[in-house]
Amino acid sequence: MQVYAIGDIHGQIDLLRAAHERIFRDGGQDALIVHVGDLIDRGPDSRGVVEHLLQGRRDGRNWVVTRGNHDRFLPAFLNTPDWIDPGLSSGQHWLDHAGLGARATLESYGVDIDRPHHQVLDDARRTVPQAHSDFLATLPLWYLHPLALFVHAGIRPGVGLTDQQEHDLVWIRKGFLESEADFGPLIVHGHTALDRPTRYRNRLNIDGGAAYGRPLATVAIGPGTVDLLTDQGRQPMEIE
């Protein structure tokens, strides 16, 4: 039994294709691959990432994609233009918050954002395929496998899986990252960018910072084992 996982992608289509190729070389074309969300924003080709994953699903690939906080922004803008994510301490709109990556995402669809919101919205509604918006809006919040629980940000300690709130699943840091609780399954997550993917006793953070020019983390998880996949092969990840 084995499952592969890929960290936060953030519009890095070339890194995503390379990660898939590493997995195919290791586990074959039918490998089960879980992507832990944040497909879009910041990187150069969010459109390409969404289309690549959609096409893989159409082709019958054994791919799971969970929803990240960034994956909510584009469909929310298209459907509820004034929505501001309550997880943002700044209280800023997606288009106005320079650090979120709306510019890169919309430019990948050919939309210029240096205009009033209503003009940006009109162009975005014309150019963003409905299939892309629907895909992002309907991604599952978590995926439970016999070897691990995959979720974008983490879980609220002490709360059953079916009672977890979406806000926590896509945004949580405080209360989760410092917890030493036994969650049952290994929690595999992203959301909190590190210099490198890191394995802890109760969780595995695979956001290696691809949004900031670092490698896209790719891991292989087996019974009791976690290996980082590199172009040179597997590197065992020890608990830190």
pLDDT in tens, 140-157: 999 999 999 999 999 999
What pLDDT does 103 receive?
98
Q: Classify residue 192: in a domain, yes or no.
A: yes
SS (H, E, C) 56-79: HHHCCCCEEECCCCHHHHHHHHHH
Q: Classify residue 219: in a domain, yes or no.
A: yes
What pLDDT does 36 receive?
98
Q: Classify residue 110: in a domain, yes or no.
A: no
Q: How many domains does the chain have?
A: 1
Q: Residue 207: which domain range?
A: 3-69+141-236
Orientation of helix 70-79 relative to helix 130-137, angle to 10°? 130
Q: Classify residue 79: in a domain, yes or no.
A: no
pLDDT values of the chain reduced to their tens digit, one per residue, 240 residues: 899 999 999 999 999 999 999 999 999 999 999 999 999 999 999 999 999 999 999 999 999 999 999 999 999 999 999 999 999 999 999 999 999 999 999 999 999 999 999 999 999 999 999 999 999 999 999 999 999 999 999 999 999 999 999 999 999 999 999 999 999 999 999 999 999 999 999 999 999 999 998 999 999 999 999 999 999 999 999 999
What pLDDT does 230 receive?
95
What pLDDT does 174 receive?
97
Q: Classify residue 136: in a domain, yes or no.
A: no
What pLDDT does 1 receive?
84
**In sequence order, what are the residues at sequence separation of 6 or more whose Cβ sits closer than 8 angstroms to the Cβ of residue 136?**
39, 40, 50, 67, 71, 72, 74, 75
Q: Classify residue 182: in a domain, yes or no.
A: yes
Say if CB 12 and CB 48 are below 8 A apart: no
Q: Classify residue 115: in a domain, yes or no.
A: no
Distance in Å from the first CA to the final CA of the chain: 24
Torsion of CA 51, 53, 54, 55, to 10 degrees: 80
Say if CB 187 and CB 204 are below 8 A apart: yes
In the beta sheet, which residues pair with residue 234? 229
Q: Residue 156 is part of a domain; what is its CATH number? A: 3.60.21.10
CA distance 97 to 117: 13
CA distance 71 to 94: 11
Q: Classify residue 125: in a domain, yes or no.
A: no
80 alpha-carbon distance from chain centroid: 22
